[in-house]
Structure 1
Amino acid sequence: MKRNYSVLILLFTLGLILTCTHCRRGDEDLQALVEDIGHRFAPDSRVAIWSVKIERRHGTPTLTGETTVPQAVEALRDSLEARGQSVQWDVRVLPVPAYRSTPFGVVTISVTNLRGIPDRGGELVTQAILGTPVRRYKRNDYWDLIQTPDGYLGWVDRGTITWMDSTEFTRWRQSLRCLVTVPYALVLADSGDTAETVSDAVAGSLLEYSTVRDGYWWVRFPDGRTGKLRQSDAVDFRSWLRSSRPMPDQLLLTAKRFRGFPYLWGGTSTKGFDCSGFTKTVYFLQGWLLPRDASQQVTVGQLVTRSVDFELLQPGDLLFFGRKATADEPEHATHVGLYLGNTEFIHSSGRVKINSLDSTRANFNQYRYDHFLQARRILSDSTVPVLKRQEWYVQTTEVDRHE
């Protein structure tokens, strides 16, 4: 009897081991599928969230987590259905329900900081300037996770954004707005030397206006504040969009206006630029919407050359620098500058400055020369987004109607 009891225990243990092994293999296959979907639909965590994992709840595989990509969820469901695999679902598609009625927002201060985590000590990953439209996904105490028009995600102090429903956001996109074109401007409560300041503004800021009178734009902030902006500091946004025809000369003039401005990691405003924030801002002020980081900007435009060849380079080309490819790793762009012509380029490194890739020049930069990766041309590439076609900023039908 004792021997039979031992055999039963052994058989039960073997069965349990086989069951656990089967479950583990099943979970591993499921995890591989989840990761494959993530690589396909959300390969860059800077612009998309795919945080999905597998848990065992009462012996049943359960998918948990969250994502900003509903198409990825549908693809995963279809794949599981094709496999005949049954799972429990606890995956949240962002935005959270509380934000679905007011998912849009517009920055209401001159520059707001986006951080990697919801904490003031978190890394500054990027910035958004006054009048930038954003989407929000979830909250954490006083912070909102938002996405900017270039797709970048980050945590922002919610008090720096005015939130809107779809009707309010449509009205804002159709409104009269002016675009700040000077590096730095002030919005005043009244005209005159002793007028109180309502807010500051940086190049690229957008403000609604009601009229232009006595040398001032009469402007309105997204949060309802009003004031006067010097007329020479801005242009009508819609007219600017219709007339914007990016030319190398204008691009270079814009870039040189920021010479000497300070470097700031994560900076995309005239209060401080990092390298890609500088090139992004310069192109934005000519009507283009570049990706945020150097490693993203290197994926757009047309490849010009992978070596320093002055015969091939043209003013306005983006020059990329970084880690060269090896047998084990691909190249990785970590720095970007704007080619000026005559062997020189302008970039933000310590400050916005001009260097040369010609070893005979006094401003030659050996380090950048040694780490040159490639040059890309934006101005002749119709696939790079332009602001006049961005639904974030305008109703494109309105622009088309006036062209």
Structure 2
Amino acid sequence: MLLAAISCKTGAERESDLAQYENAVTDLQQRFAPDRRTDRVEVRISPTSSGPQLSGYTTVPAAARALDSLAAQWSGVSSSVALLPRAELTGEYGIIRTSVANIRTEPGHSQELTSQALLGTPIELLDARDGWYLIRTPDRYIAWLEEGAFVRTDRTGLTAWLSELSTCGLAQTDVWDTPERGRLVSELVAGCLVQRVGPPTGDYQLVRLPDDRRGYVRATDLKDYARLAQPGRVVVDSILQTAYQQVGRPYLWGGTSTKAMDCSGFTKTAYYLNGYVIPRDASQQVHAGVDVPLDDGLTALRRGDLLFFGSYRDDGSERVTHVGFYLGKGRFLHAGADNDYITENSLLEKDADFAPHRKESLLRARRLREGSPGVVPVGEAFERLYTRSSSR
């Protein structure tokens, strides 16, 4: 598509051409980054004195090439679209250094909390702005994190960090500067990663944190990382046991730790603590695993299946807004803002804790097992982040 020089056209013709450019860019966005939570094609078309200019960024190399190709075909159009990670961050990674790091939709402490990452988790650095970094987490989620929440490293440093790890096995514990519990060094929550240093000292183990702080944690509070990294198979009973251990914990929009969780953070955390990374949000988790048909009697469901709730848009498409674990006999376990904590409810009218709005909004059910889409062992998810491009 070779267009005539835009400078020779009337105002109406220029507006028509700009509309064509915008449509073409929209098509590329839908093709390469249909979900901006996991990939980005953020491009603007701005009229300038010398002609329209494409600016912005993308995380997808193929999209960058396609945009350059389009600009070359359009006479008078220039492109300054950046491919992330930016050149100065290529080969740069991070390791979360605080027990629970808050990840936000935009840079700034006042911005929406969209997810969290646990101490010891590797991240990919994509962009930087005013002390904040656009990052990618092992579940491929893209959002902003303050620079103080992680330490920078390269691939060699990341490989060394992941080589000898232990994971926190309790909902919460502490790291002290001495075995006598003198000064608090850090807290840990379930799933945080540390390195053991030498043999235990009595009941305590000396550990190293990602920023090289060291301290002592009760040895029995630690588990072998290998069991988390290579779980072998999805054990539904273990996942539900982990889920039940969270009952009563508070609801927190964006939460993905045992401190507090939102609905998909709850299901994600239960899988993570059993060795699997699944997508972050309910509207992403609904594409993981395999579909389970729903009928009035819920006859095809098994314990541990994920139930998805929501509504239908005007165009008939589904809008998934909530997720929980099916427990059998019409019951489900979930973190709901309506309850404000993790609890059980029922889909059956005869039960005292019947949730009519959940029954009315039940849309889908999915069964997540090893090898099914979106169910990735923790070790593999970590490796994907730094052993090959995480973009398409």
CA 1:388–1:127 in 2, change beyond 3 Å: closer, same or farther?
Answer: closer
d(CA) in 1 for partners of 2:120 and 2:241? 24
**8 Å Cα contact 1:133-1:393 kept in structure 2:** no
Q: Say whether residues 1:95 and 2:53 are aligned partners.
A: no
Residue 164 of structure 2 is matched in structure 1 by 176
d(CA) in 2 for partners of 1:48 and 1:16? 34
Deviation of 1:89 after TM superposition, in Å, equals: 1.8
d(CA) in 2 for partners of 1:184 and 1:384? 28
Residue 104 of structure 1 is matched in structure 2 by 93
- Aligned partner of residue 265 in structure 1, secondary structure: coil
Summarize deviations over 1:344-371 as a string: whole Å, max 9, x none.
Answer: 1110121010111121122221111111
Summarize deviations over 1:124-162 as a string: whole Å, max 9, x none.
Answer: 111111111111222222222212111222222210101
**In structure 1, what residue type is equivalent to 2:364?**
Q
- Aligned partner of residue 26 in structure 2, secondary structure: helix
Alignment of 1:197-208 (within 5 A): 197-208=184-195
d(CA) in 1 for partners of 2:164 and 2:322? 37
Q: Say whether residues 1:357 and 2:350 are aligned partners.
A: no
Alignment of 1:182-331 (within 5 A): 182-192=170-180, 194-213=181-200, 214-324=202-312, 328-331=315-318
**8 Å Cα contact 2:166-2:224 kept in structure 1:** yes
**8 Å Cα contact 2:233-2:370 kept in structure 1:** no
CA 1:181–1:247 in 2, change beyond 3 Å: closer, same or farther?
Answer: same
**In structure 1, what residue type is equivalent to 2:358?**
R
CA 1:119–1:248 in 2, change beyond 3 Å: closer, same or farther?
Answer: same
- Aligned partner of residue 57 in structure 1, secondary structure: coil
d(CA) in 2 for partners of 1:367 and 1:211? 54
**8 Å Cα contact 2:176-2:182 kept in structure 1:** yes
Q: Please list every run of 5 or more consecutive structure 1 residues that lacks an aligned counterpart in the other structure.
A: 1-14, 398-403
**8 Å Cα contact 2:124-2:385 kept in structure 1:** no
Deviation of 1:341 after TM superposition, in Å, equals: 1.9
Summarize deviations over 1:192-232 as a string: whole Å, max 9, x none.
Answer: 3x432211111111112233423333211111101122222
- Aligned partner of residue 154 in structure 1, secondary structure: strand
Q: Please list every run of 5 or more consecutive structure 2 residues that lacks an aligned counterpart in the other structure.
A: 1-5, 388-392
Deviation of 1:23 after TM superposition, in Å, equals: 3.1
User: TM-score of the superposition, structure 2-length normalised?
Assistant: 0.89
RCO higher in 1 or 2 (8 Å CA, sep ≥ 6)? 2
**In structure 1, what residue type is equivalent to 2:324?**
G
**8 Å Cα contact 1:288-1:384 kept in structure 2:** no
**Aligned with residue 363 of structure 2, among 365, 373, 376:** 373
Residue 163 of structure 1 is matched in structure 2 by 152
CA 1:380–1:91 in 2, change beyond 3 Å: closer, same or farther?
Answer: closer
Q: Say whether residues 1:383 and 2:365 are aligned partners.
A: no
CA 1:238–1:78 in 2, change beyond 3 Å: closer, same or farther?
Answer: same
**8 Å Cα contact 2:279-2:374 kept in structure 1:** no
Residue 12 of structure 1 is matched in structure 2 by none
Deviation of 1:19 after TM superposition, in Å, equals: 3.8
d(CA) in 2 for partners of 1:309 and 1:376? 16
- Aligned partner of residue 144 in structure 1, secondary structure: strand
**Aligned with residue 132 of structure 2, among 143, 150, 161:** 143
**In structure 1, what residue type is equivalent to 2:322?**
H
**In structure 2, what residue type is equivalent to 1:344?**
R
d(CA) in 1 for partners of 2:300 and 2:62? 41
d(CA) in 2 for partners of 1:65 and 1:306? 43
**Aligned with residue 67 of structure 1, among 51, 58, 65:** 58
Count of residues in correspondence between the two structures: 378
d(CA) in 1 for partners of 2:226 and 2:384? 9
**8 Å Cα contact 1:298-1:320 kept in structure 2:** yes
Residue 121 of structure 2 is matched in structure 1 by 132
Residue 18 of structure 2 is matched in structure 1 by 27
RMSD: 2.4
d(CA) in 2 for partners of 1:45 and 1:309? 37
d(CA) in 1 for partners of 2:11 and 2:265? 51
d(CA) in 1 for partners of 2:79 and 2:308? 43
d(CA) in 2 for partners of 1:201 and 1:33? 48
Summarize deviations over 1:93-130 as a string: whole Å, max 9, x none.
Answer: 122333235x2001001111111222211111111111
Which structure has the greater CA radius of gyration? 1
**8 Å Cα contact 2:229-2:380 kept in structure 1:** no
User: TM-score of the superposition, structure 1-length normalised?
Assistant: 0.87
d(CA) in 2 for partners of 1:225 and 1:306? 51
d(CA) in 1 for partners of 2:7 and 2:329? 74
- Aligned partner of residue 276 in structure 2, secondary structure: coil
d(CA) in 1 for partners of 2:297 and 2:76? 58
CA 1:16–1:325 in 2, change beyond 3 Å: closer, same or farther?
Answer: closer
